[in-house]
Amino acid sequence: MMTNVPHDPQARSLFDEMARWPIYDPHSHIDPHRPAARNFDEVLGYHYYTELAHSAGMPAELVDPSLPPRTRAENLAEFLKYIDNTIQYSWLLEIAQTFHGFAEDRITPKNIGSLYDRAEHAGDGESWDRTVWEKSHLEAVFLTNDFDDPLKGWDTKKYVPCLRTDDLVLKLHEPSTVARLRKATGVDVQDFATLHQAIGTLFERFLSKGVRACAISLPPDFVPLPAAPKRAEAPVRRALHQMDLRPDEHAEIRTIVFWTLAEYCADYRLPFDLMIGPIRNVYPAGVAGGRDLFDRRVSLYDYRALFNHFAGVTFPISTLSPDAGAELVAYSWIFPNVVPLGHWWYSNIPPYIAADLRARLQAVPKNKLVGYYSDAYKLEFVLPKFNMFRKILAETLAEDAIRGRGWSEERALELARLVLLDNPRRLFGRSDSESASVI
């Protein structure tokens, strides 16, 4: 049962057709070894619910990881009545109804027990993973893999590796990062030359396992200036040997490592996903995942040298601040290698999506539109989140394209298919010569 579908008949017709299509999800945090939730606590533990409930008055200790899973779920259910107005709650209800046969229209302290029992799949393992995959009609789900991920034990045609590089750029000065890098690559990293070699080794290993993108989440004060290898040699060596660093040396290290990653993306023709804007730990007393915010002063102007220099690298970009949409549209309008990617985090609610989507559809070349990604931690969330986007896309096309510009339904669906399937498949997809593999 879908709880959120268009009421307008024309939009409903578009939505119904889109709902028949497979889902190609170019960014998630799914664990390929345990992709679906084994109990309802793993659903309610998605940071949206814990942070919203905490914002509504729930003490953080009620969802402490040390508590039994059922207890955490029962505790959080006491506060769902305060957030049942949110779009995130609609995802939760759709999950309960679609995957667990929940027949009621609200999740309450009185029915959480029976729902928890229905959602218990600890003994089902991979069988439950397959059930959720098939019921969601998934084609591919991209992962977020640490640079030292062993990359073993899953089908890379379904769960596609993506090299996440935050720690290399932002935490190279930490002893654990250097130790992980040495272990993952077998390179005795001591200076910039060996660091460059180690990063190249990482790319080669990920490429051998079917990687289709490199990705990074960047803070608002990051500016990717052109690299200066000679100037960076001393700061990099000091960082690798855990010596004290000045603020300007930290900035130099971040710049040189980031620029090196972009160079390897150019060499290996990999898209470089940039997720721009989060400030970590703004609210230290918050629940896990509910402590980060954004800074509205972020500007893509700071990235102009990167976009100009690496003209052959595609940069799919997500910005965290909802009011950054117009700038992203403008840069996607001008730069051939800048692509607006999905609707991220605090921007991932219908009013913001609708405004950004309408602007993108009317201003950005249609072969550059990559509509949506789930950002999900469990497979169950992919379907309701994509259904939310499908609804907004259907309503926008019905209003702006069919009624507004006289398009046929077939033409509107052609554009929708580009946005949801054809463009992400082309941008992130394997070549025809590559076959499915199990790693």
Residues 102 and 219 in one domain: no
The string of DSSP codes covering 311-324 is TTS-EEEEESSGGG
Asked if residue 434 has pLDDT above 80, the reply is no
Which range is least confidently modeled, 36-40, 227-231, 385-389, 408-412?
227-231
- Between 431 and 336, where is the model more confident? 336
Within 10 angstroms of residue 404's Cβ, the number of other Cβ atoms is 12
Confidence check: pLDDT of 2 > 80 = no
**Of 118, 135, 164, which residue constitutes the final position of a domain?**
118
Pair 242, 280 in one domain: yes
User: Virtual CA dihedral for 80, 85, 87, 91, nearest 10 degrees?
Assistant: 40
User: What pTM does this model have?
Assistant: 0.96
When pLDDT is averaged across residues 222-239 and rounded to a whole number, the result is 94
pLDDT digits (tens, 9 = 90+) for 98-145: 999 999 999 999 999 999 999 999 999 899 999 999 999 999 999 999
pLDDT in tens, 342-364: 999 999 999 999 999 999 999 99
Residues paired with 275 in a beta bridge: 217, 318
Same domain, 265 and 164: yes
Tally the domains of the chain: 2
Residue 392 lies in a domain: no
Distances from the Cα of 224 to the Cαs of 6, 72, 299, 328, 342, in angstroms? Answer: 42, 42, 12, 17, 22
Residue 92 belongs to some domain of the structure: yes
Domain check: are 111 and 230 in the same one? no
Q: Where does the pLDDT of residue 439 fall: very low under 50, low under 70, confident under 90, or very high at 90 and above?
A: very low
Average pLDDT over residues 304-333: 96
**pLDDT on residue 429:** 81
- The reply to whether 213 and 113 lie within a common domain is no
Non-local (6+) Cβ contacts of 143 within 8 A are 28, 29, 30, 32, 159, 160, 161, 162
Classified as helix, coil or strand, 286 is: coil
Q: What is the mean pLDDT of residues 313-321?
A: 96
Please give the residue range of the domain that contains residue 91. 40-118
Do 178 and 87 fall within a single domain? no
Q: Do 234 and 306 lie in a common domain?
A: yes
Distance between CA atoms of 227 and 300, rounded to whole angstroms? 18
Query: Of the candidates 114, 242, 225, which has an alpha carbon nearest to the alpha carbon of residue 190?
Result: 242
288: left (phi over 0), alpha (psi -120 to 50) or beta: beta
Residue 16 belongs to a domain: no
- The pLDDT value recorded for residue 84 is 98
Same domain? 59 vs 159: no
Average pLDDT, the chain: 95
Within a domain: 21: no
**Higher-pLDDT residue of 327, 297:** 327
d(CA 399, CA 246): 55
* Inside any domain, residue 391: no
Distance between CA 129 and CA 34 in Å, rounded?
8
- If asked whether residues 102 and 174 sit together in one domain, one would say no
What's the pLDDT tens digit per position in 155-201? 999 999 999 999 999 999 999 999 999 999 999 999 999 999 999 99
Residue 437 has pLDDT above 70, yes or no: no
Looking at the fold, whether 165 and 289 belong to one and the same domain comes out as yes
Question: What pLDDT band is residue 436 in, cutting at 50, 70 and 90?
Answer: very low
The DSSP element (H or E) to which 279 belongs, if any, is strand 278-279
Q: Which domain CATH number covers 280?
A: 3.20.20.140
In 3D space, the residue among 206, 216, 312, 211 whose CA is nearest the CA of residue 266 turns out to be 312
Kindly indicate the confidence band of residue 435, based on its pLDDT and cuts at 50, 70 and 90: very low
